Structures are given as C-alpha cells and as structure tokens.
Amino acid sequence: MTKEKQKKNTTEKRMRPCIPKSDRITKKEALSMLKNADLLDLGLTADNMRNQLHPEKIVTFVVDRNINYTNVCINKCTFCAFWRDKADQDAYTLDRDTLFAKIEETLGLGGTQILIQGGLHPDLDIDYYVDLLRSIKERFKINIHGFSPPEICYIADSADLTLRETLQILRQAGLDSVPGGGAEILSDRVREVLSPRKIKSSRWLKVMETAHLLGMRTTATMMFGSIESPEDIITHLEAIRDLQDRTGGFTAFIPWSFQPGNTELSAEARKRKSRGGVTPPLQAATAVEYLKVLALSRIYLDNVDNIQASWVTQGLKLAQVALRFGANDFGSTMIEENVVASTGVSVRTSKYEIINAIRAAGFIPAQRDTYYNILRRWET
C-alpha cells in the first residue's frame, strides 16, 4: 500500500462531520431510553441519525473469512463454546498449508480481508505471530484484520513487552488492523463472571488507544444479553464514545447478542435452576432487545461512522430490519465462521444473498474494504 493510501485509510474517515457534542445524549437519557422508550420511536431516531451520517442509502459489506488459527485457550471464558484444552481431542492449531489454502480460497471469492483470531495458546510466542504474519504477507495481497485485545495483551505479556512495542512489531510484520473482540461488556463486575481470566476493561481500551495512536484502525464490539444490566450497557457505550472522542480510530461498532448454546454459563444456570435458584437470563436476546440495543448504539455513538448488523447471530431477516434501526453495514460475508457456530447457531449465507437482502430492504448494496472504502456497488 502506498503511503498516500495508508494515510487515507488512517485519517480520511475521521474527518466526517459528526453530530455536535452539545446535541449528544447523556448517560442518564440513554439509560432511560433503553429502559422505557418505545421500540419504534427508538428505531426512528436511530434511522434518522443513520440517514444523516449516510444519506447516500448505501449499505456496505466486506468479503472476508474468519480464520481461527487455534482453539486452545487458557482463558476458558464461561460464555464461550469455542475454547479447548491443549490435551482435548478436538484441540487444533492450523498448519500453514491449511491456512494458506483458506486465504487462496478467500481471494478467489473476491475477498479483501481475513479476520484472524484464536485462543490464548500457552505454547505460541511472539515469534510464532511474527512469522505467521510475514508468511501471509509474503504470499498474498490481503488485509490482515487480526488479534483481538486479549491476544495482543497475551503476546505482550509473554514476551515481556509493552503494548506499544508489541503492536509495532506485529504491524511491521504485516498486521493491518485490529478487531474489537474480547470486549464483551466493558464492566469489570460483569467480566468477573463471564471471563474472570480475561483482561479487564481498562486494558481492552488501552490496546485500542495504543493501536489508534500508532495510526491503526480498529473496530469495537459489545456482547450483550447475558448477565449485564442496562447500566452496564451504557457504561460500555460511554467507554467507546469517550475513546473515540480522543482518537477517532474506531471504524465501526458491532453489537451482538450472547448465544447460550454449549456454554459453561448456560450449563451453570441450568444447574442452579435445578437446585431451585434464580437463573440469569440465558435465552438469546429477543429481536426486540437486539433492535433496542442496536438503535441505542447508533444514537449514543454519534462519533462512530458505522454500525454493523449482526446477521450471524440474528439471521438475515432480522439483519434487514436492523437497517432501519441504525445499522448501515452488514459486516462480513464470513466465508468461514467458527466461534458463534460452536454454540450451535450456524447461519451461512453467500455474497449474493447479502446483496439481495440489502436491496430488498431498500438500500444500495456495496462491497467495501476494511477501511470502508467502496470497491463496488450494485445499483439495481
């Protein structure tokens, strides 16, 4: 990538005018909206805001593949059905040939990005990651969107390096941008239950801030619908908005709902219920809950350009509805997805189904790159 193009990717999108700060909603107002607002009122406000930010009526998507290089993870989060112990029979770490074949297939399908993420494997050190990135970049022209903050911290701590040093080394080896995974809910009270071994909220935010200050773009996510309270959701949104005010480095926000299948959190709750205890809400969020949180995210995060609809967790039909509740992006075609699929929820689709779904919802479908530059659009 030329220096000029790189500059465009790191700065241009930050210059889009956003809602004046004096008009932004407060935490108190947001909490009241989340608890009391009528669904359609909330949707209309979010839709108006999407229109203001994206008047061209384009809904974007990226063609990419999730590559999970290992499922071995020492964190063992209670909401996660993907992790395995090193000794488990179905534990794996992908070999290079398999990985390269996946990238080749992605490029063959018009893909521009791989989202590469995995567990925290005790045997993989920074040299593994550097070599992995270099080996991909030597062979393929593809954007590497990789390693969520828990992985970055794990690599840094194992190598006894600062976050800045670690990100600089990974970037030099080929890392382009950082996905917002591992945020769940940025409230340590909730994290203590969902993922007690995982990095705390402040460290997740520190990784993102450091990446942004180095000129890297990242996304931000939020997993809701497990044991958090409405207040926790607002705390999360406020943390993202505050960091975005300071750095402008988030390209998009992706709220998605907890999928309880095959998770320890869900099994524990069933056990407590059988003993007559009170159970946390372990059904996946309803469509109404999803749309409310999505709409509020659009309204609250007035400084984040793009809000993604999560068709992987909500299905294509609800994702279409989400386009009138603040979302302007369909995320990725996900040629491959393993983490949500391990909970038993497996929605697969093709690029053309996504195009049709966007068009049928009244928008112009467009393929984008990682930085939301439009590559191709389907006008009619």
Q: In what order do the strands lie in the sheet with 329-332?
A: 329-332, 58-62, 364-368, 374-377
Residue 150, helix vs strand vs coil: helix
Helix (H) or strand (E) segment spanning residue 96: helix 96-108
Beta carbons within 8 Å of 276's beta carbon, 6+ residues apart: none
Whose Cβ is closer to ligand SF4: residue 1's or residue 267's?
Answer: 267
User: 368 - beta bridge partners?
Assistant: 62, 374
- Residue 21 CB burial class (10 angstroms; 0-12, 13-18, ≥19): exposed
Q: How many other β-carbons are positioned within 10 Å of the β-carbon of residue 316?
A: 18
Work out how close the CB of 327 gets to ligand SF4 at its nearest, in angstroms, rounded to a whole number.
24
Work out how close the CB of 154 gets to ligand SF4 at its nearest, in angstroms, rounded to a whole number.
9
Q: Which residues in this chain contact ligand SF4 in the complex, by CB under 6 A?
A: 73, 75-77, 80, 82-83, 119-120, 150, 195, 198
Whose Cβ is closer to ligand SF4: residue 75's or residue 349's?
Answer: 75
Residue 129's closest CA among 150, 113, 147, 104? 147
Work out how close the CB of 272 gets to ligand SF4 at its nearest, in angstroms, rounded to a whole number.
21
Work out how close the CB of 367 gets to ligand SF4 at its nearest, in angstroms, rounded to a whole number.
29
Whose Cβ is closer to ligand SF4: residue 69's or residue 300's?
Answer: 69
Whose Cβ is closer to ligand SF4: residue 9's or residue 71's?
Answer: 71
Whose Cβ is closer to ligand SF4: residue 156's or residue 355's?
Answer: 156
Work out how close the CB of 81 gets to ligand SF4 at its nearest, in angstroms, rounded to a whole number.
8
Work out how close the CB of 160 gets to ligand SF4 at its nearest, in angstroms, rounded to a whole number.
21
Whose Cβ is closer to ligand SF4: residue 204's or residue 371's?
Answer: 204
Q: What are phi and psi of 222, to 5 degrees?
A: -150, 125
